[in-house]
């Protein structure tokens, strides 16, 4: 089995702890066997890594082969649940390091199960290079990635050339990378990275059709920031 490029662990997140309310704990315990794909870690490099030799068998995990959306950093799952409910004919794979967010998403799904969602608890920066096969993904979503606004923290931003390589590899030709941010400076940074990459073309700055208004968007607007949506298409 060939594997993709091995990426370093990213520093786009800090461990925010796994504390969560008891009902989210209960939802995690009850529903994770169904929704959270267990992946082997990369040796002793930590629980949010995945063994680069491991490849997700999505036909087995979803029980079918359908167009696949990969959401990077699904947080508490608003976009994920909305997308999966609107497009039952697509599958949605969330890569998220923050277990309380996964638990909260599943707690909300408890009453309204969505069979087309799966989670992998991994650092997407490390995992995306190997977890999926080349060209397997219809759309990648990166909505409101942690902005790391201080200059000295910009190197922690997820959207950077090595991550663009990983996204390019997993996207099918013609597939879309949809991004949104409420930080103008991060929007400029995203455009700087992706406009300079001739493997991608900017095809829309309209709101992504399946992106609902989330807490991060509301907070950004309340703080006087404006929202940027970008959709880049994989060329060739």
Cα distance between residue 227 and residue 84, in whole Å: 23
Is the CB of 35 or the CB of 98 nearer to ligand SAM? 98
Is the CB of 107 or the CB of 124 nearer to ligand SAM? 124
> Is the Cα torsion angle 168, 171, 174, 178 positive or negative in sign?
negative
29 is catalytic: no
- Candidates 93, 95, 106, 187: give the one binding ligand SAM (CB under 6 A): 95
Question: What's the CA angle centered on 59, arms 91 and 174, to 5 degrees?
Answer: 55
Which DSSP letter does residue 144 get? S
Within residues 19-78, the interface with ligand SAM by CB under 6 A covers 72-75, 78
- 234: part of which helix (H) or strand (E)? strand 228-234
91 binds ligand SAM (CB under 6 A): no
Pairing of strands 117-120, 228-234: unpaired
Catalytic residue of the set 44, 89, 146, 198 = 146
129 binds ligand SAM (CB under 6 A): no
Cα distance between residue 125 and residue 130, in whole Å: 10
List residues near ligand SAM by CB under 6 A.
10, 12-13, 72-75, 78-79, 95-98, 101, 123-125, 143-146, 158, 214, 216
| Residues flagged as binding site for S-adenosyl-L-methionine | 71, 96, 123, 146
């Amino acid at each position: 089995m060939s594997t993709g490029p091995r990426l370093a662990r990213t520093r786009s997140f800090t461990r925010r702890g796994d504390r969560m309310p008891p009902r989210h704990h209960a939802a995690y315990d009850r529903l994770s066997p169904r929704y959270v794909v267990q992946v082997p870690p990369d040796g002793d490099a930590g629980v949010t890594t995945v063994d680069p030799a491991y490849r997700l068998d999505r036909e087995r995990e979803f029980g079918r082969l359908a167009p696949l959306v990969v959401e990077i950093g699904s947080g508490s799952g608003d976009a994920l649940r909305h997308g999966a409910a609107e497009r039952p004919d697509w599958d949605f794979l969330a890569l998220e390091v923050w277990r309380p967010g996964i638990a909260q998403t599943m707690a909300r799904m408890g009453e309204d199960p969505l069979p087309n969602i799966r989670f992998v608890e991994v650092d997407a920066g490390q995992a995306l290079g190997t977890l999926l096969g080349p060209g397997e993904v219809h759309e990648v979503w990166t909505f409101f990635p942690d902005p790391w606004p201080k200059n000295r923290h910009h190197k922690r931003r997820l959207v950077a050339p090595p991550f663009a390589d990983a996204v390019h590899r997993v996207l099918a030709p013609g597939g879309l990378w949809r991004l949104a941010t409420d930080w103008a400076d991060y929007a400029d940074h995203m455009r700087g990275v992706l406009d300079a990459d001739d493997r991608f073309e900017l095809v829309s700055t309209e709101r992504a059709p399946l992106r609902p208004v989330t807490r991060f968007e509301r907070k950004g607007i309340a703080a006087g920031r404006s929202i940027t949506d970008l959709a880049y298409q994989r060329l060739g």
